[in-house]
A and B are shown apart, each in its own frame.
Chain A
Amino acid sequence: QKEVEQDPGPLSVPEGAIVSLNCTYSNSAFQYFMWYRQYSRKGPELLMYTYSSGNKEDGRFTAQVDKSSKYISLFIRDSQPSDSATYLCAMVRGSYIPTFGRGTSLIVHP
């Protein structure tokens, strides 16, 4: 079992939908949680970064962490075609190297 599991998709939704992207993990020592967005032919871009359970909101994006269930989510409200990309979750404990999920491909169609 990989330390971080992420459904590769693709996830296809209509414009304006609420999108839910998820990762599960097995190592309860993870302390910090990140979501990256990666467009085709570009590097991963940091979207959200949190270190506590609960929700963190930034514009149309909400990151949710449930440490008791070892589950993190990224919600995108009012999704736009420009949100079409691959979304990678990542998590880290202390000074260790971050562990990445394999990414979920999201397609938002007009």
Chain B
Amino acid sequence: DADVTQTPRNRITKTGKRIMLECSQTKGHDRMYWYRQDPGLGLRLIYYSFDVKDINKGEISDGYSVSRQAQAKFSLSLESAIPNQTALYFCATRASTGQPQHFGDGTRLSIL
């Protein structure tokens, strides 16, 4: 089983719908991150959390919200989806300072 699991893997939905992407991890890491990846733009940070009570905005948080339900679970929500939020979304975890991040396999989200 994967250490960082994202669900769903693919999602097609319509403008204005509320969407939740989920991430769970078995690595025991405190730090969790949500990124989006667009062609030519690389990975951009949406939100991150250093523990259950800590939530921080990244560089592109507008239009997104997150919930850290437990150490192992970190969800990303789009309250009212718009077409320019079509992208590949990745969850990542990290053990502590100086350690590398580990990524899930992503959710491919298309908003029509």
Contacts and interface: CB of A to CB of B under 8 A. Distances in A.
Given A31-B98, A92-B98, A97-B58, A45 B103 contact: yes
Of the listed residues A8, A45, A95, the one surrounded by the most CB atoms of chain B closer than 10 A to its CB is: A95
Of the listed residues A36, A44, A45, A90, the one surrounded by the most CB atoms of chain B closer than 10 A to its CB is: A44
Nearest to A2: B42
Contact of B45 (A36, A51, A94, A97): A97
A88 B42 CA distance: 9
B53 to A, nearest CB: 17
A43 B43 CA distance: 11
B22 interface: no
Interface string B46-69: 001000000000100000000000
Contacts of A32: 98, 100
Interface residues on A, range: 20 to 34
B73 interface: no
Contact of A102 (B42, B97, B102, B103): B42
B1 to A, nearest CB: 15
Interface in A65-110: 88, 90, 92, 94-95, 97-98, 100-103
A51 B106 contact: no
Given A42-B105, A42-B106, A43-B105, A88 B43 contact: yes
Nearest to A92: B98
B85 to A, nearest CB: 19
Interface of B: 4, 33, 40-43, 45, 48, 58, 90, 97-98, 100-106, 108
11 contacts: A36-B103, A41-B105, A41-B106, A43-B90, A43-B106, A44-B43, A44-B90, A97-B58, A98-B100, A100-B43, A103-B42
Interface of A: 8, 31-32, 34, 36, 41-46, 49, 51, 88, 90, 92, 94-95, 97-98, 100-103
